[in-house]
């Protein structure tokens, strides 16, 4: 059998079809994860989130984060001393939502919330703080890498 341009066209078309089939197989095996299950209903509260971020921007000192060998410490500013802090903190893991962690904010007298670092798997997290102090709501995000 002689290899001529007709066979070359057939070979190119077969390789193209094989590439498409392989890409389809790979794409069907990809996991789809939403940031939030009720994404669209949360968009309704978008203006409230903007207000919370503006309240946070007005603070002289924002929430800080320190990471030691065995602890993750969330440190609230001294301006909140002797005030009740309530709210939620969400350690959002962009690469895998089953590794997300949510906690209620519980500070001690030094305005520090301490978490055990062993509760987390190494990787990138985004700490989403949504909290209230004296009926004023705040929202802040802090990116962290845990090793």
What are the beta bridge partners of residue 130? 88, 139
Edge-to-edge order in the sheet of strand 64-67: 64-67, 71-75, 112-116
Residues of the chain with pLDDT under 50: none
Q: What is the reported pTM?
A: 0.71
**Domains of the chain: which residue ranges?**
1-30, 39-146
Written out in words, the top-level CATH class of the domain with range 39-146 is mainly beta
Residue 51 in tokens: 């207000």
Q: What is the model's pLDDT at position 42? A: 66
Q: What is the model's pLDDT at position 121? A: 92
């Amino acid at each position: 059998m002689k290899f001529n341009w007709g066979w070359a066209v057939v070979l190119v078309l077969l390789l193209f079809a094989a590439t498409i089939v392989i890409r389809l197989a790979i794409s069907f095996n990809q996991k789809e994860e939403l940031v939030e299950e009720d994404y669209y209903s949360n968009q309704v509260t978008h203006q409230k989130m903007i207000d919370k971020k503006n309240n946070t921007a007005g603070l002289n000192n924002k929430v800080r984060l320190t990471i030691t060998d065995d602890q993750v410490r969330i440190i609230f500013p001294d301006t909140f001393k002797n005030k009740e802090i309530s709210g939620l903190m969400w350690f959002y893991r962009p690469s895998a939502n089953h590794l997300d962690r949510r906690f209620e904010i519980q500070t001690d007298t030094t305005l520090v919330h301490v978490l055990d670092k062993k509760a987390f798997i190494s990787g990138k997290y985004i700490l989403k703080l949504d909290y209230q102090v004296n009926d004023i709501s705040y929202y802040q995000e802090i990116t962290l890498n845990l090793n």
